[in-house]
Structures are given as structure tokens and as C-alpha cells.
Amino acid sequence: MTMITRRQLIGLVLLTLMWGLNWPIMKLSLRELAPLHFRALTMGLGALALAAYFGARGLRLLPHGRAEWRDVVVLGLPNILGWHALSIIGVAQLPAGRAAILGFTMPVWTVLLSVLFYRERLSGRLLLAVGAVIAGITLLLWGELAQLAGRPAGIAWMQGAALCWALGTIWMRRARLTLPAETLVVWMMLWSALALALLAAAIEPPQRWQFSPAVWVSLAWSVLINYGAAQVIWFALARALPASTSAMSVMAVPLIGVLSAPLIVGEWPNWHDLAAMASVVVAIGAVLVRPA
């Protein structure tokens, strides 16, 4: 059995807090930024910060040959462009905690897509997970439709984002990569940020670049913490920790997103949110946490 060190435990707790807090912090930024402008700006600057950090550590930063450039483009489509574009639109239309719950259904869809298209075995645990996810989505859809100003389309955007992440995860597992993972992520973020900037210029109103102090803080968080420190910690932990330990971190993210939203953006969860959160945590546990 692999024992987790104190340093790894601290890193895991910090990463979980960063990922969970990021949902209401994104919602705060969207009060003054259009969604695609926000993603293009923060992702582009975050990618440059990561490139500077990894370059200073001597990592190879330039892909070699057509195969590595093809990996950057193909794997970046669902993993970065699809997930980040669709999820930020979903966050703009839903309460932050609700978006976090829906976004973190992605481990369940990863396993389900593997069964449907890659002939992996269908188990009772997966059936439990799918049932729990469907229950959670139904509860949130009910909550949205019960509100006069509800935005049920936001649920579709978030599930599209979760499916993109799931597909990207499967492709990443099956890819024969020669490019360092850190370099791959930097280049996927860079070209996705450029694509999002072009989309933002084409379909969103012109953006004013004067923000309140709170939004400036949220932008700094998105660049330096979400796209910076969290990525560095994740790369360090992903190589060292067993999958079951990482799964516990994933399960805690929507919980932190829901519970921190009242403090950051004043969005209080109702019983639909809490019940859906419990359903999604059960679903994640069913597919990620393996019995001893």
C-alpha cells in the first residue's frame, strides 16, 4: 500500500480547496466579464505563467514533429477547448455551486463512455453511479424549472462540458505520448485561449477592461492559482498518489464549491443542490474508489 506523505497530504488539501473555491470565484469574475473573454484572458496568461515556470525547471517546451503537434491539437479539443468553453457558459447561467456539482459528474461519464465505445466491462458499481448522476441532474433540473428566472439550458452546457472532459480523459489514456505532459498542457491551453479569443471577438459584445477591486482579485486568482499553482501541484501529485486517494479529492470539490458560494458570491444552496451534491459524490465514489 502506498502511504501518503505529509507534504503530499498538504498538497492534496490545497489542490482540493483551489478547485472547489474556483467555481464561485469564476462566478464573481463573470459579473463584469463576458464568459469567453474571461476564459481567453485567464487561460492565455496562465499558460504563459506555466511555460515560464516549466522552462525555468529545464523542461522541453517545444513539440517535435507532426505527431507531437497533432497530439496538442487533437487532445486539446475536448480536454481544454471543449471543457473550458462549455463550462464557463454553464457557470454564467447557473449558481456556482450547482455548476460545480454538474461539472464533476465527469468521472462517471468517463467510465460510461469507456463501456459504450471501448468495450470495458459494465459493472453494478457503474450502474449505481449512472443512477446517482441521473438523480442529481433531475434534482437540479427540477430546481431550475421551479424558479421563474431559472436557466435549465445551463445544465445542458455543463453536461456537455463534463462529456468533453470524459472523452478527453479517455483519449489521453490511450494516446502514445512522447511530449512531456506539462508541455502538452501548456500548448493545449495556448491554442485554446487563442481560439476562445477569436470566438469572443466574434460573438460577444466589446469588453470594457475596467473592473472593481474584487474582480481584479478574482482574475489574479484564475491566472496564478487555478491555471498556475493548481496545475503544478496536480502534476506533482498525479505521478505519486494512488488513484483512490486522488478520487477522494475529486469527491470533495463540488462540496467545497457549494459551501463556499454563499461566502464569495452570496448564492445559498437549497435542498435540491444539497441532495444533488450527495448524489454526485455517491456516483464519483462508485466509479473511482475501489474496495481494498
**pLDDT tens digits, residue range 209-261?**
999 999 999 999 999 999 999 999 888 776 666 655 555 567 788 889 988 99
Range of the domain at 204: 6-288
Q: How many CA atoms lie within 13 A of 232 on its CB side?
A: 16
The reply to whether 61 falls in a domain is: yes
Predicted model pTM = 0.87
d(CA 108, CA 86): 18
Cell digits for 169? 480523459
Question: pLDDT value at position 1?
Answer: 44
> How many domains, the chain?
1
The reply to whether 12 falls in a domain is: yes
Cell digits for 46? 496562465
The reply to whether 244 falls in a domain is: yes
The reply to whether 158 falls in a domain is: yes
Which of 27, 25, 164 lies closest to 83 in space, CA to CA? Answer: 164
The reply to whether 62 falls in a domain is: yes
In the structure, what pLDDT confidence band is assigned to residue 148 with cuts at 50, 70 and 90? Answer: very low
List phi, psi (to 5°) of 107: -60, -35
The reply to whether 1 falls in a domain is: no
The reply to whether 283 falls in a domain is: yes
Cell digits for 208? 470594457
- In sequence order, what are the residues at sequence separation of 6 or more whose Cβ sits closer than 8 angstroms to the Cβ of residue 23? 91, 96, 97, 99, 100, 103, 257, 260, 261
Higher pLDDT, 7 or 225: 225
Distance of CA 11 to the CA centre of its chain: 18
The reply to whether 186 falls in a domain is: yes
